[in-house]
Structure 1
Amino acid sequence: MSQLNVRKTAYSVEEIFHEGGPAPANPLRRAAAIAIIENPFAGRYEPDIQWFMEDLKPLGLQMARRLVEMLGGADKIEGYGKGALIGEAGELEHGALWHAPGGYAMRELLNDSNAIVPSTKKVTGVGGRLDVPITHINASYVRSHFDSMEVGLNDAPKAHELAVILVMSTGPRIHDRAGGLAAKDIKGEDGLR
């Protein structure tokens, strides 16, 4: 992480026991990891930015490992997502640099994951929050796992910072009953169905 200046990291876990209906046998657990880093491109337009993705890879793996541990192991993970908050002196494209390092870090640890990792990003001021999308790790069309987790910190990102985020979950939404492809019916051929 030679070019990486990490100010802080934060990790959180939610346990959802019910949404007004009967409690399931196991609560849904969602976990988020957020790292606040210096944006090396803030305050100027820089045409050559792709090199920074290599510097982000070790951070992505560190964050993903911690999430897997927090949720009880790779075999417990059924959903994932990623995102980035870009401080006001940055641009949206700086957050896009997290796509590959964040997504591949999770997929490396979740060996049977076939689906693309959903993502979102936005430029924001200090205290900005992001609804990070979550989908099933093996098939994007599994409707029961369409979810999100709101992530943010009260003191970040500052104007010259990026907040890079990973999210994982252990199952479908509590009380899912919107139909569509069920997780048990995944073919797993292309990451879509």
Structure 2
Amino acid sequence: MKLRKIVTLTEDLHREGERPVDPVARTAVVLAVIENPWAGRGYVADLLPVIDEVAPELGALLAPRVAEALGAPIEAYGKAAIVGLDGEIEHGSGLIHTLKFGDHFRKVAEATTLLPAVEKRAPAGVVFDIPLKHVTDATIRSHHQTVEARVPDAPRPDEIVVGLAAAAQGRPLARLAPLSSEQ
């Protein structure tokens, strides 16, 4: 893995609308900007050898960093891969849609659910939303939320931005009825 940089974003929300948020709602995102290991190689039929090499390294790098940045127990989580214009969406998907990547985050978060994800191909500086869901029950509506992220100079055409996001709580001032109330 050729790592160019790591970007860490945190947000502490104190007010939602006209109401105070207590306790303060904290989210954290950690993004790794890496060289796309398939860029410039044309169509690669078998992505698995590189996935097996790079995905575990990325998961091990990012999971503890996002937990540390959050500084609180993780209640909601998600992941992202944004591929530069010379790559394929499948390149980002291959890196994040494997247990070799996601299990690092599940272990740190003490989670049991699948990680929601966003993946797309885009130019440097694109704004993207990372979806979050509850770490043990994806039906808990209060934890369905998104975190916005952006790296101004990434991904370059031959790069991939891979990231993890976490929240210490559900949406601020959440008040929707449980999903079970509609069944």
Which residue, 13, 16, 21 being the options, matches 1:16? 13
Q: Verify: 1:117 aligned to 2:112, yes or no.
A: no
Deviates more, 1:19-28 or 1:142-151: 19-28
- 1:40 is paired with a residue of what secondary structure? coil
Fraction of identical pairs, as percent: 32
1:12–1:33 CA contact under 8 A, matched in 2: yes
- 1:172 is paired with a residue of what secondary structure? coil
Aligned partner letter, 1:65: P
Residue by residue, what CA displacement relative to the aligned partner does 1:121-157 show, whole Å, maximum 9, x if unpaired?
1100111121100000001111000001111211000
Residue by residue, what CA displacement relative to the aligned partner does 1:91-135 show, whole Å, maximum 9, x if unpaired?
010011222244211102123x11111011110011112110000
Structure 2 length normalisation: TM-score?
A: 0.90
| Distance in 1 (alpha carbons) for counterparts of 2:70 and 2:151 | 21
- 2:21 is paired with a residue of what secondary structure? coil
| Distance in 1 (alpha carbons) for counterparts of 2:176 and 2:60 | 34
Structure 1 length normalisation: TM-score?
A: 0.86
Q: How many positions carry a matched residue from both structures?
A: 176
Alignment match, 1:164? 162
- 1:35 is paired with a residue of what secondary structure? strand
- 1:95 is paired with a residue of what secondary structure? helix
Alignment match, 1:145? 143
CA change 1:136–1:51 in 2 (3 A) is same
Which residue, 39, 42, 46 being the options, matches 2:39? 42
Alignment match, 2:80? 83
Alignment match, 1:27? 24
1:18–1:175 CA contact under 8 A, matched in 2: no
1:121–1:130 CA contact under 8 A, matched in 2: no
Uncovered stretches (5+) of structure 2, i.e. residues with no partner: none
Aligned CA RMSD, in angstroms, stands at 1.5
Uncovered stretches (5+) of structure 1, i.e. residues with no partner: 183-193
- 1:8 is paired with a residue of what secondary structure? strand
More strand by share: 2
2:78–2:165 CA contact under 8 A, matched in 1: yes
Residue by residue, what CA displacement relative to the aligned partner does 1:148-183 show, whole Å, maximum 9, x if unpaired?
11112110001110000100100010011122249x
